[in-house]
Amino acid sequence: MRLRLTALLFVFAGLTLGHPMSSHAQGPGDVDEPGRWRFTVAPYLLFPYMDGSLTVRGIEVDVNAEPGDIFDKLQFGAMLYLEASNGTWGISLDGLYMDLEQTGERLELLTARMKQGAVELVGYRRVAEWAEVLLGGRLNVLSGSLVGEGGIIDAKDDKVFFDPFVGARLQVPNTWKWRLALRGDLGGFGVGSDFAWQIYPLVGYRFSRLFEVAIAYRWIDMDYKTGSAGEEFRYNMTIFGPEVGLLFHF
């Protein structure tokens, strides 16, 4: 089954990838205190497109879905981003979970049911006013099943794997109100996925010291496979789409 997603959904994924969702810009009333730790809490929503393939027990199905298709069949989804930073060092945690189903394109009598979750931990080091390097890892949890007519489960499998990654986050120096950022990372390296990548541009507007709204577009690609012949499991997915987040800074 061919499914291309980069909404990991993680609508993940990547799970899907530092995260430009956080801001180091100061709001009104902030005091410039070197080394002071600041925190960001950001629930967000991804409107994903899915394009790729899912193979369960050697049965492959192609899937191509738009946000309307996904939300129509979405059973449950949740996304939350947390970050702490002192201006030089930072750490973030990004979590996503999605439970959905989609009719396969190649084998139209089969319905693909996917449960996808990811928890991403990232460390940052600022190397310039406008740039940070990052090192992190993403724990992915995948559950895939193919269900035929009459509710017969033709195949089902669950996988848990870890993808290390490296990357960078760039941000245009700005006033406290507007923010333009870009994050990218590469990972997998055969540890979990054969290869995984993410690109994530973002524009944010800060209404006050506490509150910011951000609009982003995320691309996440993951190619994970294990087993062979009739036992092969493969998740070859690109997830992509717009994302809206509410950021609370304190």
* Residue 2: predicted pLDDT: 38
pLDDT higher than threshold 60 for residue 1: no
How far is it, in rounded angstroms, from Cα 155 to Cα 60?
10
Which of these ranges, 145-159, 213-227, 229-243, has the smallest mean pLDDT? 145-159
Residues 6+ apart with CB under 8 A from 228: none
For 228, other C-beta atoms within 10 Å of its C-beta total 8
What is the helix (H) or strand (E) element at residue 39, kind and residue range?
strand 38-46
Scanning 22-100, the segments in alpha helix (DSSP H) are: 67-72
Instruction: Out of 50-54, 61-65, 129-133, 236-240, give the one with best mean pLDDT.
Output: 129-133
How far is it, in rounded angstroms, from Cα 79 to Cα 98?
9
How far is it, in rounded angstroms, from Cα 64 to Cα 105?
7
Both tokens of residue 137?
């890892």
* Residue 5: predicted pLDDT: 34
Is residue 225 within 8 Å of residue 234, measured between CB atoms? yes
Look up the pTM and report it: 0.82
The arithmetic mean of pLDDT across residues 105-121, rounded, is 76
Instruction: Out of 34-48, 115-129, 227-241, give the one with best mean pLDDT.
Output: 115-129
pLDDT in tens, 119-160: 999 999 999 999 999 999 999 998 888 877 766 667 888 999
How far is it, in rounded angstroms, from Cα 178 to Cα 199?
20
* Residue 61: predicted pLDDT: 82
The arithmetic mean of pLDDT across residues 30-37, rounded, is 69
Q: Binning pLDDT at 50, 70 and 90, where does residue 169 land?
A: very high
- Strands 153-171 and 178-187, by their bridges, are antiparallel
Query: Which CATH number does the domain 38-249 belong to among 3.40.50.2000, 2.40.128.90, 3.90.105.20, 1.20.120.1150?
Result: 2.40.128.90
Single-letter amino acid, residue 101 = E
The arithmetic mean of pLDDT across residues 23-37, rounded, is 61
pLDDT higher than threshold 70 for residue 32: no
Q: Which residue has the higher pLDDT, 29 or 165?
A: 165
Q: Return the DSSP state at 4.
A: B
Peptide bond into 202 cis (omega under 30): no
Scanning the chain, the segments in alpha helix (DSSP H) are: 67-72
User: Which regions of 104-232 does DSSP assign to beta strands (E)?
Assistant: 111-128, 131-147, 153-171, 178-187, 195-206, 211-226
Using only C-alpha atoms, what is the Rg of the chain? 19
Q: Return the DSSP state at 87.
A: S
Is residue 245 within 8 Å of residue 20, measured between CB atoms? no
Is residue 24 within 8 Å of residue 83, measured between CB atoms? no
* Residue 153: predicted pLDDT: 62
